[in-house]
Chain A
Amino acid sequence: MSRFRKEGKKETPELNMGSMSDIIFMFLFFFMVITTMREASLKVHFTAPKATEIQKLEKKSLVANIYIGAPLNKNENTLPPGEVSVQLNDQTVKAEDLKRDVRDFIGTEKESRDAQDRDRLTFSLKVDKDVQMRYVNIIKQELRDNNALKINYAASKKEKNN
């Protein structure tokens, strides 16, 4: 009769952790490459409208965002009559400074890009779906006056049904 199992203490062999950390590093690099830091925290409520014919923007570094939506916090600056805020960078814009702030925003965004990229700079309007067009029209007019003509209406994907 043979015995299959030795009696007595048996030490568990140490696990080799080297390959695990390789895999973790792989994940880490993957996320580091695909991620883009959200440069500003959102101050307005934003749910993108859904559309079918959306296109991906070519380069993320050539996109500047303008958020329009209901303010998340009561203390934020709003446009009259006080239900919608416009957020540029990390601040909401005061109604009386709107013209100047939008102009400055466009200026600094253009300034921070190389000369050959300036014409490819896209202003992505991230507008909440419940916002009335009057606010969007104000921003569009400002963009137009400041010669920032490439715009994008941010939307999320919806499946087609014919």
Chain B
Amino acid sequence: MSKRKTPGLNTGAMSDISFLLLTFFLLTSSINTEQGIPRKLPPPKTEDAKDKQIDINRRNVLNVLVNFRDQISVNGEEIMITELKAKAKEFFSNPTNDPNLPEKISKPIDGIGDFPVSKGVVSLTNDQSTSYNMYVQVQNELQRAVNELRDETALQYFGKKFDGLDSAAQRAVSSAIPMSISEAPPIDYGTTK
């Protein structure tokens, strides 16, 4: 038998099909990834926990209240959303050891050593008529305050920002600067819309 040349395949149809599939996936795909502000809810109330009143010192609590007009007050003083981060940062870090700001307890932390951990807790109360947008903004500002403090601590002890650390170091910094938000049951001053 003599050598026979294989005839050239017509691949035009194949590329048509793959084009079709491509456009289908282009149209149906949503590239935006799941992102947001992660939070943990407190565990459900149990019977024995009900009676236990946790005694928290007044200086250790930052009362953040968002009313039905989306106005914010911190410990009774009305502020703008832009000021909240600085307030929260001052509250969590207490740089001058002010007796009106939260006390700090020195705790040994792996990889850092003894670190004065703040006992501060943000108590967040919102009205039933508060808009969700404002609620997220407040959560965001509080998170930002903590993230900036974590960045500063990470730079001081590990020489890198928080995001650049490995997970063990991140855990250490996270326990040095805990994110403690406690949500009070919502109030209902606003009228039902």
Contacts and interface: CB of A to CB of B under 8 A. Distances in A.
Interface of A: 17-18, 20-21, 24-25, 27-28, 31-32, 34-38, 48-49, 51-57, 60, 63, 81, 83, 122, 124, 127-134, 136-137, 140, 143-145, 147-157
Interface of B: 11-12, 14-15, 18-19, 21-22, 25-26, 28-44, 126-133, 135-137, 139-140, 143-144, 147, 186, 188, 192-193
Contacts of A155: 35-37, 136, 140
A57 B131 contact: no
A129 B131 CA distance: 7
Contact of B130 (A38, A57, A133): A133
Q: Is the interface of B mostly helix, strand, loop or mixed?
A: mixed
Contacts of A32: 25
17 contacts: A24-B22, A35-B30, A36-B29, A51-B37, A53-B140, A53-B147, A55-B36, A81-B193, A122-B38, A124-B34, A129-B132, A147-B43, A152-B34, A153-B36, A154-B34, A155-B140, A157-B35
A35 B25 contact: yes
B116 to A, nearest CB: 24
Nearest to A36: B30
A55 B130 CA distance: 24
A51 B132 contact: no
B188 to A, nearest CB: 8
B41 A153 contact: no
B40 A136 contact: no
Contacts of B188: 134
Given A31-B22, A31-B29, A133-B129, A144 B136 contact: no
> Counting chain B CB atoms within 10 Å of each CB, which of A18, A27, A130, A132 scores highest?
A132
Nearest to A25: B18
Q: Is the interface of A mostly helix, strand, loop or mixed?
A: mixed
A37 B19 CA distance: 19
A20 B16 CA distance: 10
Contacts of A63: 34
B133 A129 contact: yes
A87 B11 CA distance: 46
B21 A131 contact: no
Given A21-B14, A24-B22, A36-B29, 11 more contacts: A17-B12, A28-B21, A38-B28, A57-B35, A131-B132, A136-B132, A140-B41, A144-B41, A144-B43, A149-B40, A155-B140
A20 B12 CA distance: 9
Contact of B15 (A20, A133, A148): A20
A38 to B, nearest CB: 6
Contacts of A134: 128-129, 186, 188, 192
A31 B44 contact: no
B42 A144 contact: yes
Contacts of B31: 34-35
A7 B129 CA distance: 83
Nearest to A47: B133
A130 B32 CA distance: 21
A74 B127 CA distance: 28
A53 B37 contact: yes
B136 A51 contact: yes
